Amino acid sequence: MRQRRRQARNWPCTLGWCSGERSYPGWPALDYRFKPPYNLPMATEPLTIERLSAPEGPRVLCLRGPLTFENLSSFQNAIRREENVPMVILDLSDVPYIDSAGLGSLVSAYVRRHKATQHIALSGVNDRVLKLFETTRVEPLFLMFPTLEDAITALTGAAEA
């Protein structure tokens, strides 16, 4: 019985709450004096936005890189610049992932444009981003196309009809 209590007293040290080389009996000894810090900033990939415009038809913003909290301001500024355009296509074919802040920004852009009777369409959405849209149930908000060419053809054809 005493032996179990002694092991329980040493338990916080095995989790790294104290320094020194201690571990639970039977486990390999770990040195907790050299723990890596957990608050290091994450390396962020840049988000680049290329603006394509045709004399007629919708405006196209090609995004390259992840849409995350760290690079959200460039996306928000780019979508605000298009406030007078009735249709904007966001080409997401080079966007590997979107985090919750990026998703919130997309939904916010949709709501803002919807109130102004303007539209947003998405093209080139990969499986990972599509799964995020399905899980969070925002997929029905956006008009989605497999490629940018399909989106431009469909939306310019709809405008002419």
Pull the structure tokens for residue 144: 């989605």
- Rounded Cα distance, 96 and 75, in Å: 15
Q: Is the pLDDT of residue 131 over 60?
A: yes
Q: Is 135 left (phi over 0), alpha (psi -120 to 50) or beta?
A: alpha
Q: Which domains does the chain have, with CATH numbers?
A: 2-34 (no CATH), 48-160 (3.30.750.24)
pLDDT, residue 19, reads 47
* Least confident residue range of 4-8, 50-54, 91-95: 4-8
pLDDT, residue 67, reads 94
Question: Going by C-beta distance under 8 Å and a sequence separation of 6 or more, which residues neighbour residue 39?
Answer: none
DSSP E strands, 32-73? 48-52, 59-64
Pull the structure tokens for residue 143: 């008009």
